[in-house]
Copies of this chain bind each other. A is one copy, B any other.
């Protein structure tokens, strides 16, 4: 298999290092990832600036291409210019922090997998729902299994898989659930501060709110210490509202 890997935590993050090691065992891997952390960039792409590419080393050898762009840029540039082949799959991660519920919309990790499916290539987004994790073995094994299953079964055109692993040791994980995207979001506020030169600035802060209780929802499943796998599709038309809207008699 030919596998393109990216992430939004940057090419020197732990998650992408372990993911590459794992996927090296089952295919030819190319890493194309942001030069620095690009979290919460959503589906941003760089159109008004040039993109630069450099070869990044880890353990003293070539690890992959670093790009001064977003995860979506990395997927586009990787496929169009840097890989010598068309990948069979694009895997994004392993992200630290949950990409569930409304977070999916903000997530650079998921947007990379979405960019892949826009380009007609299967996409897989992997997140560990904790920030202090050092243990990637379980998620890496799961990644290998899922890549193989996607190779075998395929994915519908336009659909990616969004995987979130609960923040507990492997022996406490209580299985895998196929889930829906939840409605949870952040209860946000801005911390208004004054800098050393007395200029005001605002810093976004907030805490996660889980607004679901159904057992087949991503956030709920994570609370039960299960892995959440959601099939995600950017089919954004509200079909119900479409018919309603026709009655509005908008005329100009």
List residues of chain A with CB under 8 Å of any chain B CB.
37, 39-48, 50-53, 72-73, 76-77, 80-81, 102, 104-106, 111, 114, 118, 138, 141-142, 145-146, 149, 153, 155-156, 159, 161, 173, 175-176, 178-181, 185, 188-190, 192-193, 195, 199-204, 227, 229-242, 244-246, 248, 250-252
Q: How far is A73 from B202 in the complex, measured between Cα atoms in Å?
A: 11
> Contacts A106-B43, A250-B145, A252-B145 given: A245-B231 contact, CB under 8 Å?
yes
Which of B51, B192, B201 is in CB contact (< 8 Å) with A203? B51
B252 and A204 contact, CB distance less than 8 A: no
13 A-B pairs (CB sep. < 8 Å)? A45-B204, A53-B200, A80-B189, A105-B118, A153-B248, A156-B241, A176-B252, A178-B242, A181-B235, A230-B236, A231-B245, A233-B237, A235-B238
Could you say which residues of chain B place their CB within 8 Å of the CB of A145? 250-252
Could you say which residues of chain B place their CB within 8 Å of the CB of A204? 45-47, 51, 73, 76
Q: How far is A212 from B133 in the complex, measured between Cα atoms in Å?
A: 45
A94 to chain B, nearest CB (A): 14
Q: How far is A244 from B200 in the complex, measured between Cα atoms in Å?
A: 52
A237 and B180 contact, CB distance less than 8 A: yes
A50 and B201 contact, CB distance less than 8 A: yes
Which of B118, B233, B236, B252 is in CB contact (< 8 Å) with A232? B236
